[in-house]
Structure 1
């Protein structure tokens, strides 16, 4: 494990009898980044989080989190991490401030430090006005913000967010996204599992796709999209002459004559785009409009995980 790595996983396996849940996965997460693990229900995402956060034991493999071995130094790992699961850990019988003070006590902060940290987090998560109200009266977005604030009481260096925006309305989801960006800007590492592909596309520096217990693809969102066929550049021309000249030059292009447009296969990379533009410039072909179209993460997910009929992934 290098100094830049927050999480290093090699050959992680988990099985229950004959049932293999994780089949030798490797993961490397750099410090101060968002790493997203994608997969359909049952792919092994939550099991991975539980192992990395010391909640369950692995059947095999080497796992280091925040510089500590999960198997031999679990207490050191727990001291360095925070976990926010799919379901809120907020105590409905307490108000927002009391929930945070409870976490301060569990993290062995002094009363003064606990009050200071609580006030800071209430301000950071826009919960000052609601601090004295019972958590049972909070909206879904407020509960998720309080839940994440509770996770941060101990100032963790690595945070596991297991489907943190499930069930939230679009505004609350975007508020959570902004909080995640601010945490990463402050040096925190986020390990995110989500079924919302737009969420991973919006937040993740790197993505791994998990399917039947194996990592079947990994890279930045743009790298993954470029691996999927269907990317193209659409060229629109002011007159038929320009369209015809471009058709002769670009052999693989398909045309839409009525729209005076050509569709040119492309991986969307800067290099391929520059090559295309240079070809057109060399022949003095005028293009009225150019737009780049690349596959999205929906296409990536379905390409790497197979039959869409068996998947339960939300793409809205």
Structure 2
């Protein structure tokens, strides 16, 4: 059956101006890091993307190495853009990145001009696009001058391959330099993508001030702390969970055990607010950032997470209670 987008898709999702730009992002964006490559059925990936769009999520966050295998998530998006989402391109924000290892040899990693421009062109081919809306330097390169990396981003905009550019995981000091270089080149930095959650608050140590001062937007990845800030681990570690998988390098059983009392206390507070723990965690992060990137393995998770938009405000007492819980490690 031919897909037709929900005509009510724009009635509830808040859209927030990204820094001082003219671009607005949905409060909730969908990340395609996991579960959109060869490891999952295409039908499930399709169902998640279309459900997200029906709920007002217009921003889909990708990178050259998302899969598995690397590039597979962009191929999935390309297939959707050529079929179900054909005709909706101008309603979508498609972002991609380069900065982690993508192909063998000295030119397939980090932040050289050679790598960034070649990678963007490959991403465009995989998705069947003339341009991406946002292209990021995925991480800082300690060996490449920041002027070269930012110059490559500037070139991609001037070549019409990207409309906006951003950076990810840059420190406050690195961000200040990158923003200055891009400004001098005439291509402002639109957005910074850091990790940020109740359990990962490093950006509050200076980065948020730099972004506010410079008028740069922000979008948080891992706002649910790899699933810690969900109902998944309330009773411990399920046998089929990410934390139980010894091959998973992002969430260990030790991290769950250390945080378990905090997770349970935050869950009780979320219940008092009439939210799930995940919804409260997303709403909390949205006090600081422009948008949050959610991941999902099935459409129902997207529906639940988008429910955060219905209760974004916190009382002073609630914020104080959260701080007390987080301080009690």
**TM bracket, shorter-chain basis:** 0.3 to 0.5
Give the TM-score normalised by the residue count of structure 1.
Answer: 0.37
Give the structure, 1 or 2, with the largest relative contact order (CA under 8 Å, sep 6 or more).
1
Structure with the bigger percentage of strand: 1
Q: Provide TM-score, normalisation by structure 2.
A: 0.36
